[in-house]
């Protein structure tokens, strides 16, 4: 079943008087949402005891939870020690999401840094293959890693690169950040046909089953020559993308992704807007 929610706590969460992650599930339910994404962007720094308390709170309310692994993961790096650290950061994220009661960890694939992009992508794919061997050896078959499309031109993670990564193993899902795709293609996502091209490319590339249960990030994003600059809110009418054309296609294609709003401070409000638009088109069918 399709699910909607915020990535991180927002202004509405604080305004309602909430302060702790264990209170997030109550907030999610009060706002008619389904899921939440917890960010370990600056490192996995949480005790098992705290993670278990958070997981209990989410299970009691029936709210789903995913995590975002540290932002500085780079599977394209040439330094063996830094690559090992990237493995460990993602494994730590997977351990944490298990304590939370979830099964998905989103990660940024990496950056070429100063090397050739094609060479960097070869290193990334080889590193991911090694990571997934260890993933299965360590018994993580009940969890997924979600490779995210990236918003800056110089980052690895355009749509074709994500397809190559996702095809390496059964337990890799695409995390399609439509705001990132729009930013790195200078505003290409405007019509249903624009979104349809993305979905059809994905389905042709990784198969209908993975696309049906993919992970999605959505927000409007300001962009410039290098791609992504900053996240915006749904109130912006300059940069886009708009969610409604995608909502229509989610209904048409019968997809059931997890959809997280990454708006700048209005995540829960914009997540509810997306959910309402989706079910509006469900009811129109």
pLDDT score of 282: 87
Question: What does the alpha-carbon distance between residue 19 and residue 30 come to, in Å, rounded to a whole number?
Answer: 15
Greatest CA span in the chain, whole angstroms?
54
**Is residue 143 within 8 Å of residue 97, measured between CB atoms?**
yes
**Is residue 187 within 8 Å of residue 157, measured between CB atoms?**
no
**Is residue 178 within 8 Å of residue 148, measured between CB atoms?**
no
Quote the domain boundaries for residue 55.
3-284
**Is residue 186 within 8 Å of residue 177, measured between CB atoms?**
no
| Number of residues written out for the chain | 285
pLDDT score of 285: 65
Question: What does the alpha-carbon distance between residue 185 and residue 63 come to, in Å, rounded to a whole number?
Answer: 34
Question: What does the alpha-carbon distance between residue 136 and residue 239 come to, in Å, rounded to a whole number?
Answer: 41
**Is residue 56 within 8 Å of residue 21, measured between CB atoms?**
no
Residues 171-229 pLDDT 10s: 999 999 999 999 999 999 999 999 999 999 999 999 999 999 999 999 999 999 999 99
86-109 b/e with 16+ CB inside 10 Å = b? Answer: bbebbbbbbbbbbbbbbbbbbbbb
Question: What does the alpha-carbon distance between residue 226 and residue 180 come to, in Å, rounded to a whole number?
Answer: 12
- Shortest CA distance to 100 belongs to which of 147, 154, 153, 57? 57
Residue 262's CB is within 10 A of a number of other CB atoms, namely: 22
- Determine what percent of the chain is predicted with pLDDT higher than 70: 100
Residues 152-181 pLDDT 10s: 999 999 999 999 999 999 999 999 999 999
Q: 154: which 2 tokens?
A: 């110089």
| Total structural domains within the chain | 1
pLDDT score of 142: 96
- Shortest CA distance to 42 belongs to which of 93, 83, 6, 81? 93
State the first-to-last Cα distance of the chain, in angstroms, to the nearest integer.
17
pTM: 0.97
Residues 9-67 pLDDT 10s: 999 999 999 999 999 999 999 999 999 999 999 999 999 999 999 999 999 999 999 99
- Determine what percent of the chain is predicted with pLDDT higher than 90: 97
Residues 231-245 pLDDT 10s: 999 999 999 999 999
Residue 78's CB is within 10 A of a number of other CB atoms, namely: 13
Average pLDDT, the chain: 97
Question: What does the alpha-carbon distance between residue 203 and residue 201 come to, in Å, rounded to a whole number?
Answer: 6
Task: Look up the CATH number of the domain holding residue 85.
Answer: 3.20.20.150
Residue 114 in this model has a pLDDT that exceeds 90? no
Q: Which residue has the tokens 């109130």?
A: 235
């Amino acid at each position: 079943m399709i699910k909607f929610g915020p990535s991180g706590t927002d202004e509405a969460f604080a305004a309602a008087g909430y302060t702790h992650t264990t209170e997030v599930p109550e907030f999610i339910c009060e706002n008619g949402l389904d899921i939440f994404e917890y960010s370990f962007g600056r490192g996995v720094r949480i005790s098992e005891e705290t993670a278990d308390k958070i997981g209990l709170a989410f299970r009691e309310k029936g709210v789903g939870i995913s995590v975002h692994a540290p932002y500085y993961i780079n599977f394209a790096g040439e330094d063996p020690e830094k690559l090992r650290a990237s493995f460990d950061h993602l494994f730590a994220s997977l351990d944490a999401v298990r304590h939370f009661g979830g099964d998905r960890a989103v990660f940024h694939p990496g950056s070429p840094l100063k090397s050739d992009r094609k060479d960097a992508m070869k290193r990334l794919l080889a590193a991911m293959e090694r990571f997934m061997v260890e993933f299965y050896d360590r018994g993580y078959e009940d969890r997924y890693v979600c490779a995210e499309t990236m918003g800056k031109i110089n980052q690895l993670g355009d749509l074709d690169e994500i397809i190559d990564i996702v095809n390496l193993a059964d337990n890799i899902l695409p995390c399609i950040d439509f705001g990132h795709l729009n930013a790195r293609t200078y505003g290409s996502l405007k019509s249903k046909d624009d979104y349809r091209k993305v979905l059809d490319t994905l389905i042709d590339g990784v198969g209908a089953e993975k696309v049906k249960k993919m992970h999605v990030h959505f927000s409007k994003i300001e962009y410039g020559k290098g791609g992504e600059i900053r996240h915006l809110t749904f109130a912006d009418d300059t940069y886009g993308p708009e969610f409604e054309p995608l909502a229509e296609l989610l209904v048409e294609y019968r997809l059931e992704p997890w959809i997280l709003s990454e708006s700048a401070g209005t995540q829960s409000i914009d997540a509810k807007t997306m959910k309402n638009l989706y079910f509006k088109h469900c009811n129109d069918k």
